[in-house]
Amino acid sequence: MLPMMLPWRKMALSEGLRDTRALGTAVCRMMMFLLACHWCLGGVNPDKVWGEETSAQSSPTSPSTAPASPPRTAPASEEEYSFFRPSPEWEWRFFPTPQEIQKYRKSWNPFSHGPILANSPDVQPKGQFLIQLYVFSEVGNQQFDSNGMQAFPSSGPSSTRLRAVAPTWFLGYGITDNMELDIAPQLLWYNSFQGTGPSLAGHGSGHANDIGLGDTTIYLKTRIRVQDPDSWKGTFTLYHGISLPTSQWFGTDTFGTHPIPGGFAPLGRLPATKFGGLSLTEGVMWRKNIQPFRFMGSVYYTYTIPGSTGGHTTYNGDIINTRFIAEWIADDKRGLGFALEFLSVHGLSWRADGHSLDRSLVSTINPVNYHLIGIEPSIQYTLFHGPGGSLVAAAGCLFTLAGQNDINAIYPNASIYYYWSKKGTPVMR
């Protein structure tokens, strides 16, 4: 029987090879998904860009130019329609219109950092870049056992006392006014000491410390509704992410990273996925600004491709991540704000592919179920904001409130990032 190990946070598949059939199936599914997205969104051509609606009439190029003629309406045969707008009679659109976006951008939304533990549901304007540096860390000496959900005073000693730091970079670009592409590579350092509690996860116990590359996440945000400042309607955005096991690609004895003893690593801005595994994540994000507050929520569902350990194909349950954020902007000009950030992670006892997770099977990674709920108070501040770019920073600490089959830890976090635009002053998302 395999030693018990937590399947979602930072457990590498460092032994053996992955099931080639499972990997091939995943690649085929991803290709089919991308092809479906390409068709549904109408494709790409010089006259149409994904997720962007163009104005019906352009402005004159100079004062001396003759008055613009009425806009030409293309025959139906020349117009392109996607799955989400199949005919010119359909007024419903998949993406917000330019008028809706401009109305939102003129509403109250001070330029500031925003929350630490959640992605913004709103996206970068077309052509705007950002570089973010986050430092997520973890200090854990206690653990929750398997006897149901427990509050933090009820946790006991852990088998491993862990210290970990995970610097993470986010590089983002606004493809259109409604679509943003991000890539997030990570480094990981940890150091551990033997504890006195029972072991929840023995995987990786041969390495008390290590430093190297972590996994890399690439994700696309697609905004399908932008909030209306004159009503209760909020922003809704779809999240499509893939976590690549770059911690294993270059070898765990070279640039890669061995699994952390006990299977624990810092929680951060991205949905928690299994370390060293190829994972696919879909999510829905929401945000609404009500001066002087900003509210945000998100739900993510993660499926991990089967891996291999000790010559056996291994399976772990799917994962649900949730976030809820409440921000209070105390000073609009300085971007000074305070936030309460709620986080939860839930390991499920099933997989989307229907594979059995019977605890008695060698292929099942145990424990199957685990839960963690935490809260982080944070503070944010804008260091400068102008035509040359904008620099913002934030700091906070995540405290564990309750859990099951998981560690009771604190997670000090900090962030600083820079916005710049091809022209003019950067715009708040």
Question: At 300, which CATH number?
Answer: 2.40.160.40
370 is a domain residue: yes
In this prediction, residue 226 carries a pLDDT of 93
Mean per-residue pLDDT over the chain, rounded: 77
Residue 229 confidence (pLDDT)? 93
- pLDDT confidence band for 227 (50 / 70 / 90): very high
Cα 221 versus chain centre, distance: 9
Q: For tokens 């006990």, name the residue.
A: 262
Query: What's the structural domain count of the chain?
Result: 1
Contacts 24+ apart (CB under 8 A), 150-158: 150/402, 150/403, 150/404, 151/401, 151/402, 152/399, 152/400, 152/401, 152/402, 152/403, 152/408, 155/403, 155/408, 156/197, 157/195, 157/196, 157/197, 158/195, 158/197, 158/200, 158/262, 158/407, 158/408
pLDDT of residue 388: 75
pTM: 0.77
Per the DSSP assignment, residues forming a β-bridge with 23 are none
CA dist 364 and 23 (Å) reads: 18
Using a pLDDT cut of 70, give the percent of the chain over it.
68
Would you say residue 326 lies in a domain? yes
Angstrom distance (rounded) from CA 423 to CA 69:
30
User: Of the candidates 143, 210, 136, 128, which has an alpha carbon nearest to the alpha carbon of residue 176?
Assistant: 128
Tokens read off for 150: 């427990």
Confidence at residue 195, expressed as pLDDT on a 0 to 100 scale: 65
Cβ atoms 180, 124 nearer than 8 A: yes
pLDDT digit string (tens) for 131-143? 999 999 999 888 7
* Residue 75 lies inside a defined structural domain of this protein: no
Q: Express each pLDDT in 403-416 by its tens digit.
A: 887 788 899 999 99
Structure tokens at 265: 């690593």
pLDDT for the residue numbered 77: 35
Q: Which of 258, 397, 269 is nearest to 340 (CA)?
A: 397
User: pLDDT tens digits, residue range 338-397?
Assistant: 999 999 999 888 888 888 776 555 445 556 678 899 999 999 999 988 887 889 999 999
78 within domain boundaries:
no
* Mean pLDDT of all residues in 79-106: 66
pLDDT for 96-141, tens place per residue?
Answer: 888 999 999 999 999 899 999 999 999 988 988 889 999 999 998 8
Q: Which of the listed ranges 174-178, 242-246, 254-258, 297-301 does the model predict with the highest average pLDDT?
A: 297-301
- The residue segments making up the domain with residue 285 are 20-40+97-421
386 belongs to a structural domain: yes
Residue 323 has pLDDT above 90, yes or no: yes
**What residue spans of 238-293 are helical by DSSP H?**
246-249
Greater confidence (61 vs 24) lies with: 24
Which residues on neighbouring strands pair with residue 397, listed in sequence order?
412
At residue 308, what is the residue type?
Answer: S
In a domain, 86, yes or no: no
11-20, 67-76, 188-197, 316-325 — which one is most confidently predicted on average?
Answer: 316-325
If one counts every other C-beta atom within 10 angstroms of the C-beta of residue 215, the result is 26
Q: Indicate whether 52 belongs to any domain.
A: no
Q: Residue 59: pLDDT band by 50, 70, 90 thresholds?
A: very low
- Specify the pLDDT at position 52: 46
For residue 69, being part of any structural domain is answered with no
